[in-house]
Amino acid sequence: MTHTTTDRPAQRPGGATVPVLAFAGIVVAVMQTLLVPVVKDLPVLLDTEPGNATWVLTSTLLSGAVATPIMGRLGDLYGKRRMLLTSLAVMVVGALVSALSATLLPMIAGRTLQGFAMGAIPLGIGLMRDMLPREKLGSAMALMSSSIGVGGGLALPAAALVAQHADWHALFYGAAGLGVVSIALTLLVVPESPMRAEGSFDLPGAAGLSAGLVLLLLPITKGSDWGWTAPTTLGLFGASAVVLLLWGAMELRLKAPLVDLRTTARPAVLFTNLASIMVGVSFYVVSLVLPQLLQLPTSTGYGLGQSMVSAGLLVAPLGLTMMLTAPVYARLSAKYGPKVTLITGMVIIGIGYGAGLGLMNAAWQSLVISVVLGAGIGLAYSSLPALIIGSVPASETGAANGLNTLMRSIGTSVSSAVVGMVLANTAHHVGGVAVPTMHGFRVSFLIATGAVAAGVLMALFLPGRRPATGLSLVASSEETAAPAREVPGGSPGRAPDAGGDRTPDTGNGPLAVSAARAGEDRPAAPGPALPGGNAEVTA
């Protein structure tokens, strides 16, 4: 007996589908990065205090953290393409609000709206999982996952060039234009996925998760300004713990929660998410350290005296190399599995940071560091969605990838806070201006190396590939495992996990139970492991 998806996309995904979805991810990364060249000038540009100006960055982080898992779940329920277009449209509106703003509050409002675009990454990965044939899925997900680095690497020198030679508001007009192009291409090229999850949207769960994340990330990002032992900082951390615990207890009682915590607690998902935090930490350290080192004047004795644009160009290979690793990842993962690829990527990151401790004396050395770290981060980032998708039911793809993307964001937030504190505490003052020291840069690289080592340790706990027994989930070249309401009379099989296990979902219907029993009586021919977990149930 074979059960496959009966609903079909309105149109077949064409060859341009993957580039268009990856372009959407790049647009999101550009939105995140475009203010980096003018961060130090924001207090003057907005006529406000430096502490207030940081809210322009913090607001985007907070809204993105809240929107990512919520948009993923909405995509599972109502259509991933629809939610992708919604995310991009909100970003365009936010960019236009910021482009027309010259004061703090409207700018914060615009940046908050722009943060909602962060949901585009997991939604794009979900669309790929639902529609692409297995032979294309690995490299496609790798490209989508690494698009955040590609966009950031390309946007940094471009934004610096615009900031130096034009009104800084042009940055937002450019981001809005890219968003409009991405929306148009998505409408023309990307079909809607037929996959839908059962149930309704968990509004109390969304409110609880949003409150918990804001209470957690706010002291992480503002702790340096408020003081890490200040009552406000400690109080917010404590409040976040209470809210998230209550939220978790509530989610466990619901039939259709925003985040299925039981699935999230599975080792394949749990340790992937924990490793994602460490990869996020390591990714952001180089983005914080190298541009500062390159732009410091040579009179410091260790600064490399590069212009803002030159520094951006020297760091840009970080993102370009991430993009080039997508096909490499697909081959490695097909042969060894995404767990091995993740560990390999993190080892390369560790080598890059270790070598970087002695390669800070010339601009070309920064270029080498960027290339090595880009290769490692690209492999690691590309492995994460495959590990998640292979471990969750098809109907939870968007929410699960949204949560994983959130874990990376938490890692970058922690990285920003810790490295910022290290550089501030090790800085020396020249004419009343705090100047980062070489000691601070090296300590930051050591922190990144430690984070990668912790990530490797967590990845070792991921299930490895094992021979299939019992029921086999044979990968289909064109169809994914059907959500519950697309398979009449039964429960869908569960997609294979990151370790290659092929076990049925025995939760709801007679199909799963009878198939499992049949598997006990006769062995099924093992099917090839699929990084993305697309499958049809064959017994």
Residue 432: its pLDDT value, please? 64
Query: Residue 474 forms beta bridges with which residues?
Result: 536
pLDDT at 491 > cutoff 50: no
**pLDDT tens profile 407-433:** 888 888 888 888 888 888 888 877 666
Per-residue tokens: 288 = 């914080």
At 30-58, the pLDDT tens digits run 888 788 777 777 888 888 887 788 788 88
Instruction: Please give the order of strands across the beta sheet that includes 2-3.
Output: 2-3, 536-538, 472-474
Residue 316 amino acid letter: A
- In this structure, the dihedral spanned by the alpha carbons of residues 370, 374, 380 and 381, taken in order and rounded to 10 degrees, is 120
At 474, which helix (H) or strand (E)? strand 472-474
CA 393, CA 491: separation in Å to the nearest integer? 11
CA distance 52 to 56: 8
- The percentage of the chain sitting over the pLDDT mark of 90, rounded to a whole number, equals 23
Tokens of 257: 């929660």
Residue 537 clears pLDDT 90, i.e. is over it: no
Mark out the alpha helices in 428-473 (DSSP H runs): 438-460
SS3 471: coil
State pTM to two decimals.
0.73
pLDDT at position 465 is 56
d(CA 333, CA 241): 37
Q: How far apart are CA 443 and CA 357, in angstroms?
A: 9
The whole-angstrom separation of Cα 488 and Cα 482 is 10
Strands 428-430, 433-435: pairing is antiparallel
The single residue listed with the structure tokens 């918990």 is: 212
Top mean pLDDT of 4-8, 441-445, 498-502 is at 441-445
Tokens of 87: 């995310």
Q: How far apart are CA 186 and CA 172, in angstroms?
A: 21
Angle at 395 between CA 393 and CA 397, to 5 degrees: 75
- State residue 532's pLDDT score: 38
Q: What are phi and psi of 42, to 5 degrees?
A: -60, -40
Query: Do residues 518 and 493 touch, judged by C-beta distance below 8 A?
Result: no
Residue 142 confidence (pLDDT): 77
Count H helices, E strands: the chain? 20, 5
- Mind listing the pLDDT tens digit for each residue in 280-296? 888 888 878 888 888 88
pLDDT confidence of residue 249: 92
Q: Is 489 exposed, middle or buried (0-12, 13-18, 19+ CB in 10 A)?
A: exposed
- The residue with tokens 């938490």 is 410
Nearest to 28 by CA among 142, 155, 139, 118: 118
Residue 487: name the closest of 400, 398, 393, 401 by CA.
393
Query: Which run of H or E residues covers position 119?
Result: none
| Cα gap 126→534, rounded to integer Å | 11
518 alpha-carbon distance from chain centroid: 40
- The size of the chain, in residues, is 539
Q: Which residue has the tokens 């050395």?
A: 365
Distance, CA of 373 to chain centre: 17
**Nearest alpha carbon to residue 504 among 520, 486, 488:** 520
3-state SS assignment for residue 473: strand
461 to each of 162, 170, 339, 342, 475, how far by Cα in Å?
Answer: 46, 47, 10, 12, 25
As a whole number, mean pLDDT of residues 447-460 equals 93
Beta-strand runs (E) in 294-418: none
Q: What share of the chain is helix, strand, coil (3-state, %, to 5)?
A: 70, 5, 25
Is pLDDT at 245 greater than 90 in this prediction? yes
Query: What does pLDDT average to over the chain?
Result: 78
Distance CA 148, CA 275 (A): 18
Q: What are the backbone angles phi and psi of residue 34, rounded to the nearest 5°?
A: -60, -25
Structure tokens given for 514: 């009878």
What average pLDDT does range 99-112 have in this prediction? 91
Q: Rounded distance, CA 212 to CA 244, Å?
A: 5
What is the C-alpha to C-alpha distance for residues 414 and 417, in angstroms, rounded to an integer?
5
How far apart (Å, rounded) are the C-alpha atoms in residues 409 and 430?
A: 34
How many angstroms separate the CA atoms of 506 and 529, rounded? 20
DSSP state of 256: S
Higher pLDDT among residues 51 and 489, named by residue: 51
